[in-house]
Amino acid sequence: MKVDGKNTRTIWVENDGTCVGIIDQTLLPHRFATIKLKTLDDAVRAIKTMQVRGAPLIGAAAAYGVWLALRADASDENLERAYAALLATRPTAINLKWALDQMLAAVRNRPRAERVAAAFKRAGEIADEDIAINQAIGRHGLKIIEEVAARKKGARVNVLTHCNAGWLATVDWGTATAPIYLAHDKGVAVHVFADETRPRNQGASLTAWELGHHGVPHTVIPDNTGGHLMQHGLVDLVIVGTDRVTAQGDVCNKIGTYLKALAAHDNKVPFYVALPSPTIDFSVSDGLSEIPIEQRSPDEVATMTGKTKDGRIETVQIIPDGSPVANYGFDVTPARLITGLITERGVIQANREALAAAFPERAKLAS
AA identity, residue 305: T
For ligand MRU, which is the closer residue by CB, 115 or 195? 195
Q: How far apart are CA 298 and CA 57, in angstroms?
A: 24
For ligand MRU, which is the closer residue by CB, 99 or 119? 99
Nearest distance in Å: CB 296, ligand MRU: 8
CA 336 to chain centre: 22
Could you give the 3-state DSSP secondary structure of residue 12? strand
For ligand MRU, which is the closer residue by CB, 83 or 173? 173
For ligand MRU, which is the closer residue by CB, 184 or 254? 254
Nearest distance in Å: CB 141, ligand MRU: 13
Q: Which residues bind ligand MRU (CB under 6 A)?
A: 53-56, 93, 163, 165, 169-170, 175, 202, 241-243, 253-254, 329
Is 236 an active-site residue? no
Nearest distance in Å: CB 256, ligand MRU: 10
Report which of 174, 284, 332 is spatially closest to residue 239, judged by C-alpha positions: 174
Please, are residues 167 and 173 in contact by the beta-carbon 8 Å criterion? yes
Residue nearest to ligand MRU (CB): 241
Q: How far apart are CA 2 and CA 110, in angstroms?
A: 38
Where in the chain does DSSP place strands (E)? 2-3, 6-7, 11-13, 20-23, 34-37, 157-161, 190-195, 218-221, 237-240, 244-246, 251-254, 271-274, 280-281, 303-307, 313-317, 330-333, 340-343, 346-348
Of residues 243, 250, 281, 331, which has the active-site annotation? 243
Nearest distance in Å: CB 74, ligand MRU: 30
- Active-site positions read 243
